[in-house]
Amino acid sequence: MSVFRYRQDDINTDLLFPGKHTYTCSTGPEIREHLLEDLDAEFASKVQPGDIIIADRNFGCGSSREQPALGLRFVGLKAVVAKSFARIFYRSAINQGLLLVASPEAVDAYSDGDDVDVDAAAGTITVGGRAFSFPPLPAEMLEILEAGGLLEQITKKSREAGRA
């Protein structure tokens, strides 16, 4: 597990996924090529499933484009941990099944090389052996996240209704 630590507020959607590709890249493999390219050109080649991003305030501000959340989920990122998240990105992450952890304390506690682990159901994050709790998602949103995303939840519900 690697941690990508970006010490920067307001990491916006253009830095996460440039707008010029918004209408030509929509699938996971297409998005991966440009993911974070104007923030960290090496991210896309380095990221592995289970990795974690740690950033500062207002992560994901700007556009409603979903490539940032979709792309981070596609590459298998375990979670984004930040001091706070912009609203549309927060929603989009739930819709894509990407776990977000808003914890200023956990961000401040992190030093390079620390192990980081997140338990979404318990609402705890462990940074270098120190545990912090974060507010769990409301039940309705947790259900979407646990289904793997909004459309996955709709499919699951419609299958259940078909069986009933």
Partner 1 sequence: MGETFAMKVLGRAAGKSVEEGEIVFIEPDVILTHDNSSAIIGKFESTVPGGTLHDPERLVIILDHVIPASDSKTAAGHAKVRAFVKKHGISNFFDIGNGVCHQLLPENGLAAPGSIVVGSDSHTCTYGAFNCFATGIDRTESAGIWITGKTWFRVPETICIDLTGHLSDLVSAKDLILTIIGDIGADGANYMSVEFHGPAVGSLRMCDRMTIANMGIEMGAKLAVFPADGTTYDYLSKRGVECCGAIWSDHDAPYVRNLSYDLTTIVPVVARPHSVDNVIPISDLPETPVDQVFLGTCTNGRIEDLEVAVTVLNGRKVSDRVRFLVAPASREILRKGMEMGLIQELVTAGATLLPPGCGPCLGAHQGVLAPGERCLSTANRNFKGRMGEKDSEIYLGSPETAAATALTGRITDPREVL
Binding site for partner 1 (CB under 8 A): 9-10, 12-15, 18-20, 22-24, 26, 38, 57-58, 61-66, 69-70, 84, 86-88, 91-92, 95-96, 138, 140-141, 149-151, 154-155, 158
Q: What's the alpha-carbon Rg for the chain, to the nearest Å?
A: 16
Element containing residue 117 per DSSP (H, E): strand 116-119
Burial annotation 57-69 (CB, 10 A radius, 16+ → b, else e): bbbbbbbebbbbb
Please report how close the Cβ of residue 118 comes to partner 1 at its closest, in angstroms.
22
Q: Which residues pair with 53 in a beta bridge?
A: 4, 80
Question: Rounded distance, CA 101 to CA 133, Å?
Answer: 10
Please report how close the Cβ of residue 126 comes to partner 1 at its closest, in angstroms.
27
